[in-house]
Structure 1
Amino acid sequence: MPLPTIPDGPVQLDNLRVPAACLGAGQGLVETTLTLADGQIVDAVEGAARIDMGGAIAFPTFVDMHTHLDKGHIWPRNPNPDGSFEGALGAVRCDTAAHWSAEDVRARMEFSLRCAYAHGTRAIRTHLDSHAPQDAISWGVFPEVRAAWAGKIDLQAVCLVACDYALTDEFATTADLVAGADGVLGMVTYPGDNLQAQLDTFFAAAEARGLAADFHVDETMDPTVNTLRDIAQTVIDRGFDQPVVVGHLCSLSVMDETEALHTLDVVARGGLHVVSLPMCNMYLQDRHAARTPRNRGITLVHEMTARGIPVSFASDNTRDPFYAYGDMDMLEVMREATRIGHLDHSVVDWTHAYLQNPAAACGFAAPSLRPGAPADLVICNARSWTELFARPQSDRIVIRGGQQIDRTLPDYAELDHLMETA
């Protein structure tokens, strides 16, 4: 049965199913009524229009905590030549040098944000490629885009540089740009003799500026690579007291089990947040021409949650050389993560991984469906988890400020003028 149209004005939505955690306690889905008035969820309003929602599942709007808005949608002009990680690096380098003006970055970021908003996302953290001179361009654009989207999508940005950049003179300038934009300090870690010096310099820069940290870590299927342990131990040794996020962690999936689990114990002691990016990792990892992939790269999410490590899932790349697909749709992320990571048949309430955990990791407002929370909802034409994950929910309802929004997605043709290749 199609979902009903939600009228403007006070409305009482009966017969909804929502995550119990969003009502303050419990796990799984529970039946409830939500009353919306004046842009908020309220206890009750006399004269509110009553609508039977037929058991439809509703969520608070989502948090997408690991994205690359600056790379989005460059695939048509610079595709990955072979689908490999190395191919992605080369294609992005070429595209950045040829095209990444302020106007180009802004237009593609806006396109992705329009998609995310239509799908029901309220907060996004994006990584921005920040090697000079791109740092000045992208960090000049970002505050303007953030201001333009205020009230629709809350935005945070993280600088993305290689770890060897931390030991250059330019890194301090980049860190100052990040601090000036209320951003997050980030980098990609690689094993090497200078890693500890790079980490110490990085954390010293973050401490001096009061910045949180966010790392791309061990995005490889090499079982000998374990910079995660170095990051976690450095956090412990320094007593670093700002939130630390680590993403990808693919090598854990092929590492010796004893070493992998010992590493997770250190991560738990360090209080790190983990974000898993299974769609992008499955696209890039263990890719060889004319050979079926054996190892898929998703990190050890079950073992992490067993140790109390907060795990989130996010979109990562969108139609760029690192991932040819995606649409900034957290319901797609939820569906694919469930299938890829065998999150079903679990005692863990994995809805935290798309709502509470990413909000806490990034410092966004905690998601809630209790009275006083914003009337920001995603309502799906599904009454159970199997119905939810069986279909793409393209007919979902998104409510912002108590009003049903127009979910029309932008046409890719709008970007055609940017896709001319040399």
Structure 2
Amino acid sequence: MIAHGRAVPTLHNATLPDGRIVDVHLDGGRVRDVVPAAGLPPVGDGLDLAGHLLLTAPAEPHAHLDKALSFDEIRPPMGNLDAAIAAWENHTPTLTVEGIAERARRAAMLLLGNGTTAVRTHVNLLRGDDPLRGIRALVAVREELADLVDIQIVAMAPYFASDEAIHAALDLGAEFVGGHPHQTLDPSGNLRRLLAIAQARKVGVDMHTDEQLNPMMLTLEELAHLVRHWPGSMPVTAGHCVSLGVVERDVLDRVIGAVKASGIGIVSLPITNLYLQGWGDPVATPRGLTALRALLDAGVRVAGGADNVRDPYNPLGRSDALETAMLMVTAGHLSVGEAYRAVSDGARDVMGLPVAGVRRGASAELMAIRASSLEEAVAAAPHDRVVLRRGRLVSVSRTSRSVAVPTRSERPEPAAVPMSS
């Protein structure tokens, strides 16, 4: 256990994605300098990262820490988004602040151990007399883990959440207004209502957007037009954007143009959308991802996230950004470099976090992983990792493996069989 972490002055012998081996000097939570490695052993609190690839630490732009790790206690049926929503809604009367906080804490620490030093979590406002149980739980976890991981909270308002409950969530410490207008009976009206609350409170929004395969459902386009003149102090994020991946090219170009003009950040969530989407399409099943290539080529700000982890919306998930990056390559057809940028620099950009990484003056949010290249890191996702947050050591993972070595049999070779002529 590393209590609160220690400041690390120098990272020695680290490998960068371009193959250079460097020493990285840190000071005050930032990268002071990056120089060719001197090949010297570490002194004092320095770390020897020989054999490790040094990367910008991942950030998770779209989590559900209030739901995370609940699969085993709910045991929901496998199924699509509607089935997942029903399973969660049936379970919510049993939720307590303490129970939500316990699972959220474990989920946040799993993310941290895998390299993620910043998380934006959506937190549902609940039915009943105490709709803010999840918000109170996550505010407590955010304060408890403040020295280890940055946690941003989105007050996710289902259709039944009152304006008063949303305002109360913001008063308790939520930083963004969220919701899922496309799942309501009046998507446009619900979207405008949530935006009006955000404007009144001068906060940003992070919407679940068009999480379905119906190409006619495009609240993203309306969102882009409505927030086009919002100030930078009120950032706008749209997650999922599934329907954008199945529209015709002319519609795609039109919507992407509006999104770029508005400055909206788009978050793709491959593992959960690959699981939830397409259950009704047994032939040529769609992947359920947004239009990643078109968005990137247009210069839209794009991030990748894990979304749900081991809950009714996704029975799987490793709380590892490299899992997300891998799926953005295999299912989204991004390059390995593009995919890793989406879960690191791209995620931090969408989350409004300071620039980080192995560059002079950047915030020292770093992950060192035992790999020789970025391709190896994403493909193998080695567990051996060193994680720094603002230049402080917050997690170290080490593994060992012993494999039997094949030996030549000591049995005599079979005698040769004479050949007859």
> Is the aligned partner of 1:343 residue 2:343?
no
What is the aligned partner in structure 2 of residue 75 from structure 1? 71
The farther-off stretch of 365-374 and 385-394 is: 365-374
- Find the residue that maps to 1:77 and give its secondary structure: helix
Give the alignment partner of residue 117 of structure 1, picking from 103, 108, 112. 112
Between the two proteins, the alignment pairs up a number of residues equal to: 385
Q: Deviations over 1:362-409 (max 9, x none)?
A: 222321323455544211222223322321211233345443734389
Q: CA deviation at 1:185?
A: 0.4
RMSD (CA atoms): 3.0
How does the TM-score come out when normalised to structure 2? 0.82
- Find the residue that maps to 1:135 and give its secondary structure: coil
Q: Is the 8 A contact 1:9 1:38 kept in 2?
A: no
Give the alignment partner of residue 403 of structure 1, picking from 393, 398, 401. 393
Structure 1 gaps of 5+ residues are 1-6, 19-27, 410-422
The farther-off stretch of 132-141 and 99-108 is: 132-141
Q: CA deviation at 1:235?
A: 1.5
Distance 1:403 1:191 in 2: 42
What is the aligned partner in structure 2 of residue 419 from structure 1? none
* 1:14 maps to amino acid: N
Give the alignment partner of residue 312 of structure 1, picking from 299, 303, 313. 303
How does the TM-score come out when normalised to structure 1? 0.82
Q: Is the 8 A contact 2:7 2:393 kept in 1?
A: yes
What is the aligned partner in structure 1 of residue 15 from structure 2? 16
Query: CA distance change for structure 1 residues 192 and 80 in 2, over 3 Å: closer, same or farther?
Result: closer
What is the aligned partner in structure 1 of residue 149 from structure 2? 153
Q: Is the 8 A contact 1:277 1:298 kept in 2?
A: yes
Distance 2:98 2:47 in 1: 45
The farther-off stretch of 31-40 and 227-236 is: 31-40
- Find the residue that maps to 1:186 and give its secondary structure: strand
Q: Deviations over 1:134-154 (max 9, x none)?
A: 532112222211110011011
Query: CA distance change for structure 1 residues 30 and 288 in 2, over 3 Å: closer, same or farther?
Result: farther
Distance 1:367 1:71 in 2: 29
What is the aligned partner in structure 1 of residue 197 from structure 2? 205
What is the aligned partner in structure 2 of residue 140 from structure 1? 136
Q: Is the 8 A contact 1:223 1:252 kept in 2?
A: yes
What is the aligned partner in structure 1 of residue 247 from structure 2? 255
What is the aligned partner in structure 1 of residue 237 from structure 2? 245
What is the aligned partner in structure 1 of residue 273 from structure 2? 281
Query: CA distance change for structure 1 residues 404 and 273 in 2, over 3 Å: closer, same or farther?
Result: closer
Give the alignment partner of residue 24 of structure 2, picking from 26, 34, 39. 34
Q: Is the 8 A contact 1:191 1:226 kept in 2?
A: no
Q: Is the 8 A contact 1:127 1:159 kept in 2?
A: yes
Structure-to-structure mapping, 1:167-178, within 5 angstroms: 170-178=162-170
What is the aligned partner in structure 2 of residue 418 from structure 1? none
Distance 2:47 2:133 in 1: 49
Distance 2:184 2:131 in 1: 25
Q: Is the 8 A contact 1:160 1:187 kept in 2?
A: yes
> Is the aligned partner of 1:388 residue 2:362?
no
Q: Is the 8 A contact 1:199 1:234 kept in 2?
A: no
What is the aligned partner in structure 1 of residue 216 from structure 2? 224
Q: CA deviation at 1:275?
A: 0.2
Q: Deviations over 1:37-90 (max 9, x none)?
A: 676544489995487755632112221010000001111122331321111011
Q: Deviations over 1:147-189 (max 9, x none)?
A: 1001101111111123x44xx7x22332332244141001102
> Is the aligned partner of 1:270 residue 2:262?
yes
- Find the residue that maps to 2:73 and give its secondary structure: coil
What is the aligned partner in structure 2 of residue 303 from structure 1? 294
Q: CA deviation at 1:208?
A: 1.1
Give the alignment partner of residue 99 of structure 2, picking from 79, 87, 104. 104
What is the aligned partner in structure 2 of residue 91 from structure 1? 87
Identity among equivalent positions (%) equals: 25
Distance 1:64 1:9 in 2: 24
* 1:174 maps to amino acid: I
Query: CA distance change for structure 1 residues 288 and 80 in 2, over 3 Å: closer, same or farther?
Result: farther
Q: Is the 8 A contact 1:40 1:402 kept in 2?
A: no
- Find the residue that maps to 1:152 and give its secondary structure: coil
Q: Deviations over 1:99-150 (max 9, x none)?
A: 2111110111011011111111111000001144453211222221111001
Q: CA deviation at 1:292?
A: 6.0
Distance 2:294 2:15 in 1: 32
* 2:268 maps to amino acid: S
Q: CA deviation at 1:15?
A: 4.7
Give the alignment partner of residue 377 of structure 1, picking from 342, 366, 390. 366
Structure 2 gaps of 5+ residues are 1-5, 400-421
Query: CA distance change for structure 1 residues 56 and 176 in 2, over 3 Å: closer, same or farther?
Result: same
What is the aligned partner in structure 2 of residue 59 from structure 1? 55
- Find the residue that maps to 1:246 and give its secondary structure: strand
Q: Is the 8 A contact 1:175 1:185 kept in 2?
A: no
